[in-house]
Amino acid sequence: MALDKIDLAILSALQKDGRMSNAALAEKVGLSQSACSRRLDMLEKSGTIRGYHAQISAAGLGHPMTAIVHVSLSGQFEKTLSEFEAAIKRCPNVLSCHLMTGEYDYILRIAARDLADYERIHKEWLTAMPHVIKINTSFAMREIIDRTAFGLKTELV
C-alpha cells in the first residue's frame, strides 16, 4: 500500500497519541471526520496499523531486568522452527522473539524480576523448549532507547 502525506500525518499523530479522537485527528490532518475515518479503516485493513495499546514499563510491573537471549536449534527445518515458535509464544516473560540469520537462530528479549527469576525462566521455559541446543544470555545494564514509533516525515503534523 502506497502511503501519501496525509496517511503519514495520520500515522505520526496516532504514534504520539493513540487515544486521539477521530474528530481531533481529522482536524489535525486537515480532513473531514468521515474521510479521516475511511483512511484509518484502510490503514487498519492493510495492516499498516496493527493495533492500539498502552505502552507498559516492564520495570513498573516489577521486572526491571532485561535479558537478551540467543538461541540455537538443532536444525532449521520448518517443523523444528514452528514447534519452537509455538512453544516460545507461551512464555509470558518473552517480550520479543526474532528469527535470525547468522550464528544463532533466534534472539529473545526477556523481562525478569532479578537473577533468580531469570534462572527460573531459563530452567522452566528456555531449556524446556523443543529443539534447543544452545542458549547464550546477556543482561542489559541500562536501556538507552526502546522506540515504539517510527520517525515519519510529514509537514502536516
d(CA 156, CA 63): 39
In a domain, 82, yes or no: yes
pTM of the model: 0.82
Tens-digit pLDDT string for the chain (157 aa): 789 999 999 999 999 999 999 999 999 999 999 999 999 999 999 999 999 988 899 999 999 999 999 999 999 999 999 999 999 999 999 999 999 999 999 999 999 999 999 999 999 999 999 999 999 999 999 999 988 888 887 655 4
Classify 130 in phi/psi space as left (phi over 0), alpha (psi -120 to 50) or beta.
beta
Q: Are residues 26 and 82 in the same domain?
A: no
In a domain, 145, yes or no: no
> What does the pLDDT read at residue 117?
98
In a domain, 109, yes or no: yes
Counting the structural domains of the chain, the total is 2
- Sign (positive or negative) of CA dihedral 44, 110, 125, 127: positive
> What does the pLDDT read at residue 84?
98
In a domain, 118, yes or no: yes
Give 7-75 as a DSSP string.
HHHHHHHHHH-TT--HHHHHHHHT--HHHHHHHHHHHHHTTSS--------TGGGT--EEEEEEEEES-
Q: Are residues 67 and 33 in the same domain?
A: no
Give the CATH number, domain containing residue 124.
Answer: 3.30.70.920
Q: Are residues 120 and 86 in the same domain?
A: yes
In a domain, 31, yes or no: yes
Q: Are residues 32 and 68 in the same domain?
A: no
The residue segments making up the domain with residue 11 are 5-45
In a domain, 149, yes or no: no
